[in-house]
Amino acid sequence: MKKINVGVVGATGYTGLELVKTLLNHPHFNLSYIANSEGLTTINKLHPSLNGVCEDEVKKADVEELAASCELVFLAVPHKTAMAYVKPLIALGVKVVDLSADYRLTREVYEEFYVPHEDVENLANAVYGLPEMFREELKSAKLVANPGCFPTSAILGLLPFMDKRQANTPIIIDAKTGVSGAGKKLSESTHFVNVNDNLFAYNPLTHRHAPEIAQKLGVPFDEVHFVPHLVPVTRGMLSSIYIQVHGDFDEMKVLKEFYKNEKNVRVSDIPVDMKNVAGTNFCDVYAKRKGNTLFISSSIDNLMRGASSQAVANANLMMGLDENAGIPNIAYVP
C-alpha cells in the first residue's frame, strides 16, 4: 500500500513533537512536510530527543507547498492562527485535523469565549473529533476539530451516564493536568519555582473548555461547573466528576456495557491514575455511587489522547484506515 503524505504545521510545541513522533512510526502515513512559523531549522534542532532519529527540515509554513505535498495536514497552532490555514487548505482539497479550538464550537459560543470567527463556512462542516461519539461522521470528514484535553477526559467519563443524570442538576468537574498542558511558552504560573511542590486552580468556572463540554453533552453551560488545577507533573490528566443520578443501576456494569466495543477506553475496577495512560491514546474510567451521587474518575495523557494521538486516530478514520493504526498503546511505566 502506497503511503499517504501528511504534514504537521506547528512542530515547535509539545503536541507538535508528539505528532511527529507518532507519524514517524506510522505504517501508512509518510511525514512529508514539517513546518512552524519561522522555518530555517531542522526538527532535531527544535527537539534534540530526535537526534539520530529524524533530522528533516522544518520549513516556514506555506499553504501552496502544503497542498502540493500533502493529502492531509495536522494543525498544531493556536486558535485564530488555525483559521488562516484551514480556509485555503480546504479550498485546495487538502484534508485537515485542527488541534486548536477554532472549529469545535458554534459560532456564537466561539466568539463569546475566543475571537470573531473568520471561516464560518468551514465551521459548519467541521466534525468533532471524538470517535466514541462521531466515528461514522469522521470517516467522511474533510475537516476535523480535534477535542480539547479537558473535554476529552470529562465527556468520556460522563457519556455513559447522561441518561441517568437528574435533569437541571450541576455537573461538577474537578480536573488536574500536568504542566505540559500549558504549552511550551514560559509564564509566571508555569515557572518551576511556582509549580514545584505546589497545586492550584486556574480559571475556575470560567475556563474555555467548559462550554465545549456543555455543548457536546447537550446541556446548558450554566449546569457545567468546571475547575481545572495545575499539578507538578509533566504530563497526564485526571478528572474527578460528580453528578446527581436517578434509578437503580450498577455503575460499573453501565460503564462496561457502554464501552465494551471501544478499544481506546478502558474500564477500571479501581480508581484510575495518570501513569497508566501516559504516552498512550487510552482513556481509563471508573465510577462509584453513593445514594444519588455518582463519582466518575477519568484519566488521559493530555498530550496524547488529549491532543496528538487522538488527532492521528481521527486522521486514520478520515483516510479509510484502521482507527488504531500507528497509535501508541504501551504506557510510560514506571
- Residues 157-199 have pLDDT tens digits of 999 999 999 999 999 999 999 999 888 887 888 889 999 999 9
Q: Are residues 260 and 121 in the same domain?
A: no
> End-to-end CA distance of the chain, in Å?
36
182: containing domain? 150-300
C-alpha cell at 272: 484510575
Residue 53 contacts residue 43 (beta carbons within 8 Å): no
Q: Respond yes or no: is residue 149 known to be catalytic.
A: yes
Query: How far apart are the C-alpha atoms of 148 and 143, rounded to whole Å?
Result: 16
**pLDDT of res. 188:** 84
In tens, the pLDDT along 68-109 reads 999 999 999 999 999 999 999 999 999 999 999 999 999 999
Mean pLDDT, residues 276-284 taken together = 98
Domain count, the chain: 2
Q: Are residues 220 and 161 in the same domain?
A: yes
Cα distances from 107 to residues 60, 76, 88, 114, 227, in angstroms, run 30, 21, 19, 10, 24
Give residue for cell 450554566. 222
**pLDDT of res. 182:** 85
**pLDDT of res. 183:** 84
Mean pLDDT, residues 223-240 taken together = 97
Mean pLDDT, residues 240-265 taken together = 98
Query: How far apart are the C-alpha atoms of 89 and 87, rounded to whole Å?
Result: 6
**pLDDT of res. 216:** 97
Query: How far apart are the C-alpha atoms of 122 and 126, rounded to whole Å?
Result: 6
Residue 33 contacts residue 20 (beta carbons within 8 Å): no
CATH code at position 105: 3.40.50.720
Q: Are residues 76 and 92 in the same domain?
A: yes
Q: Are residues 132 and 173 in the same domain?
A: no
Q: To the nearest whole number, what is the mean pLDDT of the chain?
A: 97
**pLDDT of res. 26:** 98
What are residue 143's phi and psi, to 5 degrees? -135, 125
**Percent residues over pLDDT 70 in the chain:** 100
